[in-house]
Amino acid sequence: MKYIAFTYNIFTLAHILSYTDNSYGRENVSIVYSDIASMLPEVIRNDYKIHFVPSNDILSKRRINAIICACNLSLRIWKVVDKILSSNSEETTLIVFRDNEIEEASFIEKAIKKYGEKVHVWVMEEGNGIYAKEKNPIRYLKIKQILYKLSGVSSYSLQNKTQGLHPSVEKIICSKPYVIREKLSLDIELETKKDVFTRELNEYLIKSVCGQQVKSKHYKYVFLTQPFENFRGEHDELIESYKKLLPLIFKILSERGRVIIKLHPRETLDYSLYLNDQIDICTDEEKILPFQCLMQYYDYPQMISMFSSACAGIDNTYPSIYMYKIFNIHGIERLFSEEYYKTNHIIACSDIEEFKSQLAK
């Protein structure tokens, strides 16, 4: 069996590197990377002979330009996948982390149409998307329908399906299979995902991105930031909530212990406003790395975020805290089941007083 894995950030890449080295074998895996969410370190690109497809800064595009860019990127990714598939006669498994996005759905459907039963499709957990009950409403639906059809790319991503439901998916690899069993066809095989963030892999990723190892430092709390690009209609309102509540939140945290602000790779807000002698911000290099890589170097702090998927699948001493209710981020409460929160040891706090009560002592 051969494998083609599509990745788009260091988190997804880390999983494929681990499975390549420990399960599938480098000779059997072709990794395709597009810098949709973060850059590809040159060291890793060369070590694993990765097929790189530039995203042309797709996330900075808006409206029709963003849609056209996504269509073009999908076709360029398919061109690379097609070339790899045509070069071998063996059965090949496509490993994706999002079967419900335009890029992945397009090459999945084109591969099956052209190569038939030679192609299999597996989905590997990327975060909390695999556990979602709903997907955020599709923006510019009518325009996308027209442009997708004209471009010849998949329209599956416009059906508002959550991850794991594409009809071509045969297997899902995730940390908590029993949480998603009820939403899937019985024909889909479920496999428990391995914990890939070993010290050896973490050190390799950190050195590849940062050029040197991270110095260990004790933090009691980590604040995981998230960009608001999926909430463009509420963007200004959310920024105002941030300006009002973040000073209070960081004051509460810094009075109780040391805090590290782990920036999301796509974060653009200035968090230096909240620095004091108890609060640090991760470096620009650390910003690119998934939190799971850095967790041991930060001494396993309690995780606090709006609703970061980094909290899913991580075992920690303290419960993770979601703050989307405090910031009035609408729609999140209906995305996940109570089982999701329970099994991931997550508490969604309703107000500041509850937030205080759930902080590690």
Task: Dump pLDDT digits (tens) for 136-156.
Answer: 778 788 999 999 999 999 999
Distances (CA, A) of 351 to 212, 257, 327, 332, 355: 40, 21, 9, 16, 6
Domain match, 222 and 341 both = yes
Q: Cα 187 to chain center, whole Å? A: 26
Residue 308 placed within a domain: yes
At 359 the three-state DSSP class reads: coil
Residue range 44-49: mean pLDDT, rounded: 96
Residue 316 amino acid letter: N
At 258 the three-state DSSP class reads: coil
Residue range 225-247: mean pLDDT, rounded: 74
- CA dihedral (17, 214, 263, 274) in degrees, to 10, reads 170
pLDDT of 231 above 70 = no
Residue 35 placed within a domain: yes
Written as six digits, the tokens of 72 are: 């073009």
Residue 201 placed within a domain: no
* CA–CA gap between residue 256 and residue 251 (Å, rounded): 9
Domain match, 260 and 187 both = no
* CA–CA gap between residue 170 and residue 164 (Å, rounded): 9
**Lowest-pLDDT range, 87-96, 171-180, 253-262?**
171-180
* CA–CA gap between residue 71 and residue 33 (Å, rounded): 17
pLDDT digits (tens, 9 = 90+) for 92-137: 999 999 999 999 999 999 999 999 999 999 999 988 888 887 777 7
Distances (CA, A) of 151 to 35, 79, 148, 155, 187: 21, 14, 5, 10, 32
Domain match, 66 and 118 both = yes
Report which of residues 17 and 360 the model is more confident about.
17
Q: Tell me, what's the pLDDT at 213?
A: 79
Spell 43-81 as b/e; 16+ CB within 10 A means b.
ebbeebebbebebeebeeeeeeebbebbbebbbbbbebb
Domain span holding position 269: 215-358
Domain match, 54 and 149 both = yes
Residue 200 placed within a domain: no
Task: Give the CATH number for residue 162.
Answer: 3.40.50
**Lowest-pLDDT range, 101-105, 133-137, 171-175, 347-351?**
133-137
Q: CA triplet 26, 27, 28: central angle to 5 degrees? A: 90
**Percent of the chain topping pLDDT 90:** 61
Report which of residues 129 and 279 the model is more confident about.
279
Most confident of 53-57, 77-81, 232-236, 357-361: 77-81
Taking residue 274's Cβ as centre, other Cβ atoms within 10 Å add up to 18
The per-residue pLDDT of the chain, averaged, comes to 89
* Matching residue, tokens 């079967």: 99
Domain match, 166 and 224 both = no
pLDDT tier at 237 (50, 70, 90 boundaries)?
confident
Domain match, 278 and 347 both = yes
pLDDT of 229 above 70 = no
* CA–CA gap between residue 339 and residue 329 (Å, rounded): 21
Domain match, 113 and 152 both = yes
Domain match, 186 and 247 both = no
pLDDT tier at 60 (50, 70, 90 boundaries)?
confident
pLDDT of 233 above 90 = no
Q: Phi and psi for 33 in degrees, rounded to 5?
A: -125, 130
Q: Which distant-in-sequence residues (6+ apart) come within 8 Å of 67 by Cβ?
A: 140, 143, 144, 147
Domain match, 268 and 185 both = no
pLDDT tier at 234 (50, 70, 90 boundaries)?
low
pLDDT of 208 above 90 = yes
Residue 320 amino acid letter: S
Helix, strand, coil % (nearest 5) of the chain? 45, 15, 40
pLDDT of 186 above 60 = yes
Q: CA triplet 81, 82, 87: central angle to 5 degrees? A: 100
Residue 209 placed within a domain: no
pLDDT of 1 above 80 = yes
77, 101 contact by CB (below 8 A): no
Q: Which helix (H) or strand (E) holds 6?
A: strand 2-7
What is the pTM assigned to this prediction?
0.89
* CA–CA gap between residue 108 and residue 104 (Å, rounded): 6
Residue range 211-224: mean pLDDT, rounded: 89
For the purposes of burial, counting CB atoms within 10 Å of the CB of 156, is it exposed (0-12), middle (13-18) or buried (19 or more)? buried
Q: Phi and psi for 173 in degrees, rounded to 5?
A: -110, 110
Most confident of 83-87, 135-139, 297-301: 83-87
Domain match, 236 and 320 both = yes
Distances (CA, A) of 306 to 225, 310, 312: 7, 11, 13
Instruction: Tally the domains of the chain.
Output: 2
Q: Tell me, what's the pLDDT at 138?
A: 80
Written as six digits, the tokens of 122 are: 């597996």
Residue range 269-277: mean pLDDT, rounded: 88
Residue 232 placed within a domain: yes
Domain match, 34 and 168 both = yes
Residue range 322-350: mean pLDDT, rounded: 82
Residue 210 placed within a domain: no
Domain match, 183 and 222 both = no
Residue 134 placed within a domain: yes
